[in-house]
Amino acid sequence: MRIMAVDYGESRTGIAVCDPTEFLASPVCIIKEKNTLKAIAKIVEKARELKAEQIVVGHPLNMDGSRGERAEKCTFVKEEVEKLSGIETVLWDERATTKTALGMLTDSGTFGKKRKEVLDAVAATVILENYLAWRKNNK
């Protein structure tokens, strides 16, 4: 199944997708949009373009597992994306994914402006990799 991951942000939203065998997750792009409704429309458009069969939206829970303002906003994004796209959309705990993505970019020698341009797409890839590992172990 082709699954698309979304790392929603206030001004930049990272997109990643896996191959149909669910083996390889890859960063796709960054959607630069500050307006939430416009960002949602662009997410839906990208899902259709990539022929996504499922969408995973990162859910930024607090470290103690509680839901803050950002988690509530991502829940809204998830609900609207699912309603507008008709594609099953799930929330996935994204705690520490940005930190993991930063480590990956440091290890690859990616810094400065280039790092900022790809960070959210790499974070979406980490979200997707974690989700795919869970699916593999829970079939």
pLDDT single digits (tens) 97-132? 666 666 666 666 656 666 566 667 888 898 999 999
**pLDDT tens-digit readout, 62-102:** 777 778 788 899 999 999 999 999 999 999 988 666 666 66
CA 101/CA 95 separation, integer angstroms: 12
What does the pLDDT average to over 24-32?
94
- pLDDT given at position 96: 63
123, 101 in Cβ contact below 8 A?
yes
pTM for the full predicted model:
0.88
Question: Six-digit token pair at 106?
Answer: 């440091």
- Mean pLDDT (the chain) is 87
Domain ranges (residues) in the chain: 3-137
Question: Six-digit token pair at 103?
Answer: 């480590």
CA 118/CA 94 separation, integer angstroms: 17
- Any idea which fold 3-137 has? Nucleotidyltransferase; domain 5 (3.30.420)
Looking at residue 130, its amino acid is N
